[in-house]
Amino acid sequence: MSPSDILAIEKKWQDRWSSQKAAFVDTTAPDSRGTYLLVMLPYPSGDRLHVGHARTYFLTDALHRFYRQRGRNILCPMGWDAFGLPAENYAIERGIHPRESTLANIAAMKEQFQNWGVLYDWSKEVTTCEPEYYRWNQWFFLKMLEKGLAVRKKAPVNWCPSCETVLANEQAEGGICERCKNRVVQKELEQWFLTITKYADSLLSGLDSLDKWPEKVRVMQKNWIGRSVGADLKFDLPSLGESLWVFTTRPDTVFGVTALFVAPEHPMVPRLIENHPDRAGIEAWVSKVRNSDRIEREAETTEKEGRDTGIRARHPFTGAEIPVWIANFVIADYGTGALMAVPAHDDRDFAFCTKYSLPIVEVIRRPASADSSIACWTGEGTMVNSGRFDGLTSEAGREAIANEAASGGFGGPQVRYRLRDWLISRQRYWGTPIPVVYCDACSWVPVPESHLPVVLPKDAPFTGKGGNPLTKVESFVKTPCPKCGGPARRETDTMDTFVDSSWYFLRYLDPENSARPFDGDVARRWMPVTQYIGGIEHAILHLLYARFFSRVLKDLGLVEVEEPFAALFNQGMITRMSPSGRIEKMSKSRGNAVSLDPLIAEKGADTVRTYVLFLGPAEAEAVWSDEGIAGAERFLTRVRSVAARFLDGGTDPAARPAVADTPAARRRHKTVRLVTASFERFSFHTAVAHLMEFAREVADLLADPVADPGEKATSLRTLIALLHPVAPHLAEELHERMGGTQSLLSGSWPEFDPALAEEDTVVFAVQVNGKLRGQLTLPKAAAESEVLAAAEAHEPVARWLAGKERVKTIFVPGRLLNLVVR
RNA sequence: GCCGGAGUGGCGGAAUGGUAGACGCAGGGGACUCAAAAUCCCCCGGCCCUCUGAGGCCGUGAGGGUUCGAUUCCCUCCUCCGGCACCA
């Protein structure tokens, strides 16, 4: 068959699947329910999708088709994460409006999906940059405002000078902008936040129920949430008539406190230094620290620095006077932004106090077994120099001190999280307008629900200068105050695009709904998502936000489930040798991407799909090799020629086997069992391997002139049906030529008989002292005595038994006999 | 540093307590062909042997352990990859 024939057949089936709406599911029908298979929605980028991207879609499609063949009612939708910075930057560079380029990209990607033969229920398509979608972002925002879950507050935030916007904590990990990889700087700004921290405990404990999520992702989320158990303690500042709160995980070391450290951003800093003789010098130092970039400031290697405020605090237990310092390493928005320094038992405090010659007091005696050369003991031990607490273990001490603080009214047990509130304001055009109006008289006022959507104005000056183009669209900015009717200004910040992806899977279920974001009853029947598939890069960001949204929606009474994704699968990335000589993630910018379109035009989508699935375990990284595809190509060619030979031979394609139990039937049943199990455990590469093996067996069977015609036809039909998830075009075509009148997509998966799926004769391994000494072909059901008799009569085994005393015999039915001799 | 994951032929990998290397790539040999391509068949971890065999020994990062039997379970170590990292 020529390449053009192959492509023509692929086109024929693609057209047929799409015209017959093969993937359509009526989710809104009163009793509809089923399996929800979801793949992370793509960002419609201007670059065409390459091989590295395709893996997710191919394996999702294989599952989708497999489950359809097995008769499940399965929903697999697709949509577009259409807001985002690249489109806006493109507008600045090329003068093409983001909407225009985005819609063009969507059309191009959709065509690619069509050419790959991947099936989606396009009637559910969601495009997040459309007002019909983002109006519900605005609606959720208003609901969250009502509930106090959306708040405007001043906080230290990450500002990316290159993207000219603030970023959420999750999007500025390690002080690097997640998008452009530039360094971010700290700024103190008033911004909109979603109070994800209110759900910290629920987000953490919910992880335990996600037993079908990769352990890795759960651990990453757990660490990100960062729950710490300890105590809050109050230190009075008698000279100011105020007090300073600290959080510590080690209340047992409280008697070793020799200083308090506050963050340069701490609100009390101005008061602490107002009477300091070198106030100007300290202020200069504070602002220098505050303006430094995060990566520099948070690096562990950064030199610890501080300034003594001159203010003294009173130790709540000893009454001692201890100095209050401003320290550069104290993080403002963690805990209380202040901490108690215990240099004897904390490495950081030790480094700081040594540098500034602050006293070091040991209050935890290390266990006798511990290394005595370590200057700063941060482990557990026994309390000493701690008054009446002496002798307590660290563990008991933590509780005792915290309780003492509680009863004394100067603190108590406390749990703190590393997680920060989700900063959603973005000073960019291409996003969901935040539905708020600023009025001189009324402060900020929410846009009334009835005025939604606040539509993003089409015309905006994309100059790349002077920040957000939205601020320059007067017709958008100027608006009457919804409360007093006076002149007011609209909020020009837009929402983080992760808001869009936090609930799109709910909109898929009911995309036409114009009265509500989605129907609650539909959501009740289709949530949670049965299987979610996507890249590990979203382990924290998207998956955490979506889990947060689900909780909020549950509290709003819109959904019933707290966890939106029952099972998660992260496919491994595809790598390839770069021009630099390294094996790297496939990407256009690294110059190692393999374009899909030409490859498909040359070899057909089925071949590319088969090879990509065959590369290796789907969850592991896979190295692409240009030569390897030959194997997939040969395999499909063999299937074609085997089928052609059969069809030319004039045997009835619908024939059934005359006898149920034949060696060929056993191989067939076994293959069905193996391939079914492989798909069930996402082992696509072994599924293909079993199919390759079976294709050879079928070829041999068809070449056998005396074989049962019914067996031949059935084996070939089985091969075709099993091949469908991997190479659907070829499978559908051969199925049709074999007389199939209905698509393989509906309920065509072959059943297997467990009794026939096992070989009836097997090769028994005979071991002597655990070493293989012979192989005996015997009935699978052979009893121990039969195998033993055969083994003893078997010369190579007998040789090892001669003159030895038999100590023990281990028999594994159907597998092996091990004779232990002395 | 802490937390995950992984180390198996020339290469991708299979086998999760029971015959290590399924399936495929690359390589070698053969058939077909005037020839080539394609296709088909065979071989393909290393070493050893005057019993060339239904032969022996070694072999799944290294070392130890449990077991009749370990790629698989346990301990120690090495290497690589990923994540987090001044969060008190």
For residues A511-536, give the mean pLDDT. 95
For residues A7-14, give the mean pLDDT. 96
Q: Write down the residue that tokens 């106030």 correspond to.
A: A279
Residue A694's region, left for phi above 0, alpha for psi from -120 to 50, else beta, is alpha
Query: Under a CB-based contact definition with an 8 Å cutoff, are residues A151 and A466 in contact?
Result: no
At residue A319, the pLDDT reads 94
Please state the φ and ψ torsions of residue A578, each to the nearest 5 degrees.
Answer: -90, 165
pLDDT in tens, A89-115: 888 888 899 999 999 999 999 999 999
Bridge pairing between strands A306-314 and A259-262: unpaired
Q: Has residue A374 got a pLDDT over 90?
A: no
At residue A465, the pLDDT reads 77
Within 13 Å and on the Cβ side, how many CA atoms surround A654?
A: 4
Give the CA A283 to C1' B43 distance in Å: 81
At residue A700, the pLDDT reads 92
- The nucleotide minimizing the C1' distance to residue A247's CA is B88
Write out the DSSP string of A302-347.
SPP-EEEEEEEEE-TTT--EEEEEEETT--TTSTTSEEEE-TTS-H
- The nucleotide minimizing the C1' distance to residue A223's CA is B84
Which amino acid residue lies closest to nucleotide B86, measuring CA to C1'? A300
Q: Residue A576 pairs with which residues in a beta bridge? A: A584
Q: Residue A495 pairs with which residues in a beta bridge? A: A425
Please state the φ and ψ torsions of residue A37, each to the nearest 5 degrees.
Answer: -105, 120
- The nucleotide minimizing the C1' distance to residue A768's CA is B68
Nearest-10 crossing angle of helices A596-603, A605-614:
110
Confidence of residue A389 (pLDDT cuts 50, 70, 90): very high
At residue A302, the pLDDT reads 82
Give the CA A591 to C1' B14 distance in Å: 32
Give the CA A745 to C1' B17 distance in Å: 40
CA distance A699 to A697: 5
At residue A591, the pLDDT reads 82
A700-712: buried (b, 16+ CB within 10 Å) or exposed (e) per residue? ebbeeeebbbbbb
Strand extents, DSSP E, A659-726? none
Q: Has residue A171 got a pLDDT over 90?
A: no
Give the CA A700 to C1' B49 distance in Å: 39
Contacts 24+ apart (CB under 8 A), A761-766: A762/A814, A762/A815, A764/A790, A764/A791, A764/A814, A764/A815, A764/A816, A764/A817, A765/A815, A765/A816, A765/A817, A766/A791, A766/A794, A766/A797, A766/A816, A766/A817, A766/A818, A766/A819
Bigger pLDDT: A122 or A49?
A122
Which amino acid residue lies closest to nucleotide B15, measuring CA to C1'? A686
Give the CA A370 to C1' B52 distance in Å: 64
Q: Secondary structure of A246-288 in the HEC alphabet?
A: EEECCHHHHHHCCEEEECCCCCCHHHHHCCCCCHHHHHHHHHH
Give the CA A634 to C1' B28 distance in Å: 20
CA distance A469 to A109: 28
Kindly report the bases of strand B lying within 7 A of a protein C-beta atom.
3-5, 11-15, 18-20, 22-26, 38-41, 53-57, 68-70, 81-88
Q: Has residue A647 got a pLDDT over 80?
A: yes
Per DSSP, A449 falls in state G
At residue A172, the pLDDT reads 74
- The nucleotide minimizing the C1' distance to residue A328's CA is B86
DSSP helix/strand/coil, A819: strand
How far CA A776 is from CA of A373, A663, A666, A767, in Å, comes to: 64, 18, 20, 11
Which amino acid residue lies closest to nucleotide B2, measuring CA to C1'? A223
- The nucleotide minimizing the C1' distance to residue A584's CA is B81
The closest of A676, A656, A711, A668 to A693, measured between CA atoms, is A668
Q: Has residue A716 got a pLDDT over 90?
A: yes
Q: Has residue A580 got a pLDDT over 80?
A: no
Give the CA A260 to C1' B88 distance in Å: 11
At residue A1, the pLDDT reads 72
Distance from chain centroid for Cα A691: 31
DSSP helix/strand/coil, A496: coil
The closest of A255, A88, A297, A70 to A180, measured between CA atoms, is A88
Range from A419-428, A454-463, A516-525 that averages highest in pLDDT: A516-525
Of all residues in chain A, the percent with pLDDT exceeding 70 is: 99
For residues A490-504, give the mean pLDDT. 95
Which amino acid residue lies closest to nucleotide B70, measuring CA to C1'? A770
Per DSSP, A534 falls in state E
- The nucleotide minimizing the C1' distance to residue A619's CA is B5
Which amino acid residue lies closest to nucleotide B1, measuring CA to C1'? A300
Q: Has residue A34 got a pLDDT over 90?
A: yes
Q: Give the length of chain A.
A: 822
Bigger pLDDT: A705 or A119?
A119
- The nucleotide minimizing the C1' distance to residue A762's CA is B19
For residues A160-182, give the mean pLDDT. 74
- The nucleotide minimizing the C1' distance to residue A341's CA is B88
DSSP helix/strand/coil, A435: coil
Query: Under a CB-based contact definition with an 8 Å cutoff, are residues A614 and A633 in contact?
Result: no
At residue A560, the pLDDT reads 95
CA distance A384 to A255: 9
Token pair listed for A459:
């015309």
How far CA A237 is from CA of A275, A312, A336, A740, A742, in Å, comes to: 14, 6, 16, 86, 82
pLDDT in tens, A233-275: 999 999 999 999 999 999 999 999 999 999 999 999 999 999 9
Which amino acid residue lies closest to nucleotide B5, measuring CA to C1'? A216
- The nucleotide minimizing the C1' distance to residue A611's CA is B24
Average pLDDT, chain A: 91
Give the CA A726 to C1' B84 distance in Å: 38
CA distance A167 to A707: 69
Confidence of residue A444 (pLDDT cuts 50, 70, 90): very high
For residues A63-80, give the mean pLDDT. 96
Token pair listed for A299:
């690096």
Q: Secondary structure of A453-469 in the HEC alphabet?
A: CCCCCCCCCCCCCCCCH
Lowest mean pLDDT among A81-90, A261-270, A342-351, A708-717: A81-90
Give the CA A702 to C1' B30 distance in Å: 24
At residue A791, the pLDDT reads 85
CA distance A759 to A662: 10
Bigger pLDDT: A19 or A783?
A19
- The nucleotide minimizing the C1' distance to residue A173's CA is B84
Helices (runs of H) and strands (runs of E) counted in chain A: 25, 32
Give the CA A42 to C1' B85 distance in Å: 31
CA distance A657 to A713: 8
Query: Under a CB-based contact definition with an 8 Å cutoff, are residues A153 and A416 in contact?
Result: no
The closest of A52, A101, A49, A47 to A78, measured between CA atoms, is A49
Query: Under a CB-based contact definition with an 8 Å cutoff, are residues A768 and A806 in contact?
Result: no
Confidence of residue A799 (pLDDT cuts 50, 70, 90): confident
pLDDT in tens, A730-777: 999 999 999 999 999 988 999 999 888 887 888 888 888 888 888 888
Confidence of residue A800 (pLDDT cuts 50, 70, 90): confident
- The nucleotide minimizing the C1' distance to residue A228's CA is B87
Nearest-10 crossing angle of helices A629-648, A684-703:
30
- The nucleotide minimizing the C1' distance to residue A301's CA is B86
Give the CA A796 to C1' B49 distance in Å: 17
Give the CA A772 to C1' B79 distance in Å: 33
pTM across the whole model:
0.93
At residue A86, the pLDDT reads 84
Give the CA A620 to C1' B7 distance in Å: 14
Give the CA A540 to C1' B4 distance in Å: 15
Give the CA A660 to C1' B39 distance in Å: 33
Query: Under a CB-based contact definition with an 8 Å cutoff, are residues A337 and A262 in contact?
Result: yes
Give the CA A613 to C1' B5 distance in Å: 21
